Amino acid sequence: MKYYITVPIYYVNAAPHIGHFYTTMVADALKRFKTMQGYEVMLATGSDEHGTNVERAAKAQGKAPEEYTTLIAKEFEDTWQKTGLAVDRFIRTSDPRHHETVRWLFERCKERGYVYKGSYTGQFCASCNLFVTDAKPGDNCPDCGRPTETITEENYFFKLSAFQDKLLELYEQQPDFMGPEIRRNEVIAFVKQGLNDLSITRTNITWGIPVPGEEKHVFYVWFDALITYMTAVKDLDLWPADLHLIGKEISRFHAIYWPAFLMAADLPLPKRVYAHGWLLFENDKMSKSRGNIVRATPIQEVIGVDALRYFLLREVPFGSDGSFSYDALVGRYNADLANGLGNLVSRTLSMIQQYRGGVIPAPEPGVGDEVAAKAAEVIATYKEGFEKFEFSKALEAVWSLIGAVDKFIVTQAPWTLVKKPDQQRTLDGTLYTAAEVVRLVTALVYPVMPESAAKIWNQLGMTDKLSAVREDSLAWGKLATGHTIGQTSAVFPRYDAKIVIPKMLDLEVAEKARQAALMGKKEEPAADAAPSNISPIADPIDIEAFGKVDLRVGKVLKADKVKGADKLLHLSVDIGEPEPRSIVAGIALAYQPDQLIGRKVVIVANLLPRKLRGLTSQGMIVAASLEGGSPVLASFLEDVPVGARLK
């Protein structure tokens, strides 16, 4: 089975940043997921190199357009390689093979009567490479805000107006052709307003693909760039594409112009176009003019590219706009990866090593059945989430399984079972259940975090390659027994935001300067220095005052969300008293209830009780955070008894 995915042909007016990475990374994750399903997947992208803007930029640097575009295209290819994105085909619009495809498609459209010669006078935006509809001399481009210029020239036109009814019929008969729903509705509304014929050539530039027989005409950007999707696989006979993944700002070109070109040429249409939203930097749109563009490689160098992949897919509902911040990235990493998945892997493999000499024990009938049932539900939800591009929901389901097995381990208490001769088979079943969850979770997160998942896979002692795992292995009980686990080490070490964020920012500044120098530009203006979010040290106190604070070790027995309060959790915490303490804590945005069951925490035990949302809070849970950052619970490296006092 074949499956062909594309991401945009990125314009070479800027070096790659996190927006380019986001789209390509999602396609990479989908490629790995579809491969797991048994498909042979091709992923293609490339560089959009023609047009007025590129010609001018090259001239300003004293370079030929070919030299300038080669530098930037290499930056994209190098970035995909550095960040481990499995791009199979990278097509440059300057490639002679692409020129042949464009001319071939043009001739097919022309032969069928959908191309004619005319003249056009209008306001042109050189930055966007677009004539601006209804603009007047002196108007600015509505998309980028830059001044337009008046251009009159002979053009070839494409009869886009002839395809209004056909396009509307396409959207009605194939509701999934354009997604998500909000973008589909925008496209339908645009088409219903009426379509004008489209200029597809220019005569006032030379940097482009000449029209056969009329070399003064150069193909205009959208009749050039879109066709790369066919060029990329022309030798493999993979057309049509199964999926075009794009940003929302180019929905019109992919869902209106592109299918119309193909209809005119009597060629198959792509099966699906799906547009995602923008990544905002702390709720502000990223842009070169604001100097707030983020790049993937500095993050990769400090905390690893998998942390960024997980954050973007878990934090941002795909299809909607999402916000990026370094604080949120590190907070999500520590909460979900270090404290969640990393902790599960560490404790499971450590117990197998300690209690069973590193050998995977046999399952025990009846032990862990509830976890197995939960796993089946999670796998189904995960698959559905990926099919619907609901990656955040898919990952949320996986982490609910992590929470469920954490709770199971605490309930079973292997550290107690190991001391009881008559409970050894129950211990085996418990350890097998935990190890099987590690196997399943590792396979499920592989499309999202391939490098980290491979490390866990090896530590689990698996001999087959994780990339070779297929969908039929995603079932309970497939973990072979009797084999020895591998060498264990921390896959997700905890990071201190105060240390790693400055490192990422320093590398970001250096990368920005390097890219600017590469493109022959002055260094982009630096973003305003981030204000310090470290609270000032409080006034000094003496030892007697400190001694009045009674800090105790507690174990979370139960955790629930507080109705009507997004930030609050209601905890039942054992601190060694006859009855557990009721504690209301503002940590719901950082921790899921299931993550906390069985966790050792620090409690301020001698605070006066107070009412919160109708609940009595009999103490305060100790957590650390920067001002405005996510809370991180205080914890322990060694096992500490419940009720112990901190001194």
- CATH homologous superfamily of 332-530 equals Isoleucyl-tRNA Synthetase; Domain 1 (1.10.730.10)
In which band, very low, low, confident or very high, does the pLDDT at 628 lie, cut at 50, 70 and 90? very low
Q: Is there a contact between 89 and 44 (Cβ–Cβ < 8 Å)?
A: yes
Residue 356 structure tokens: 């069973």
- Is 406's pLDDT higher than 50? yes
pLDDT score of 52: 79
Q: Is there a contact between 328 and 454 (Cβ–Cβ < 8 Å)?
A: no
Q: Ramachandran region of residue 529, left (φ > 0), alpha (ψ -120 to 50) or beta?
A: beta
Residue 207 and residue 222: Cα distance in Å, rounded? 14
In which band, very low, low, confident or very high, does the pLDDT at 535 lie, cut at 50, 70 and 90? low
Residue 138 and residue 478: Cα distance in Å, rounded? 68
pLDDT score of 60: 82
Distances in Å between the Cα of 92 and the Cα atoms of 27, 73, 99, 232, 321 are 19, 8, 10, 9, 29
pTM of the predicted structure, to 2 decimals = 0.78
Picking from 610, 614, 616, 611, the residue whose alpha carbon sits closest to that of residue 563 is 614
- Is 530's pLDDT higher than 70? no
Distances in Å between the Cα of 630 and the Cα atoms of 500, 533, 612, 633 are 15, 12, 21, 10
- The owner of tokens 């249409």 is 269
Work out the angle at residue 146's Cα, subtended by the Cα atoms of residues 140 and 149, and round it to the nearest 5 degrees. Answer: 65
Rounded to the nearest 10 degrees, what angle do helices 450-459 and 343-356 cross at? 10
Strands in 591-638 per DSSP E: 600-604, 610-612, 615-617, 620-621, 623-624, 632-633
The pLDDT tens digits for 242-263 are 999 999 999 999 999 999 999 9
Q: What is the separation of C-alpha 218 from the centre of its chain, rounded to a whole number of angstroms?
A: 37
The percentage of residues in the chain with a pLDDT greater than 70, rounded to a whole number, is 94
Residue 161 and residue 31: Cα distance in Å, rounded? 36
Whats the size of the chain, residue-wise?
Answer: 647
**DSSP letters for 304-342:** -HHHHHHHHHHHS-TTS-EEE-HHHHHHHIIIIIIIIII
Residue 157 and residue 260: Cα distance in Å, rounded? 13
In which band, very low, low, confident or very high, does the pLDDT at 69 lie, cut at 50, 70 and 90? very high
pLDDT score of 532: 44
Residue 498 structure tokens: 């105060």
Distances in Å between the Cα of 467 and the Cα atoms of 99, 438, 443 are 36, 16, 9
Q: Which of 302-306, 320-324, 393-397, 519-523 is predicted least confidently? A: 519-523
The percentage of residues in the chain with a pLDDT greater than 90, rounded to a whole number, is 69
pLDDT score of 627: 47
**CATH code at 543-633:** 2.40.50.140
Helix (H) or strand (E) holding 48: strand 40-48
State the alpha helices, DSSP H only, in 461-592. 497-518, 543-547
Question: Class of 2-276 per CATH?
Answer: alpha beta
pLDDT score of 610: 85
The pLDDT tens digits for 192-233 are 999 999 999 988 788 899 999 898 999 987 899 999 999 999
- Is 639's pLDDT higher than 90? no
Residue 578 and residue 630: Cα distance in Å, rounded? 33
The pLDDT tens digits for 288-313 are 555 568 999 999 999 999 999 999 99
Q: Is there a contact between 448 and 29 (Cβ–Cβ < 8 Å)?
A: yes
Q: How is the chain split into domains, by residue range?
A: 2-276, 332-530, 543-633
Picking from 121, 123, 113, 119, the residue whose alpha carbon sits closest to that of residue 159 is 113
- Is 638's pLDDT higher than 80? no
In DSSP terms, 210 is beta-bridged to 218
The pLDDT tens digits for 425-452 are 999 999 999 999 999 999 999 999 999 9
What lies within 8 Å, CB to CB, of 255 at 6+ separation is: 177, 178, 183, 184, 187, 273
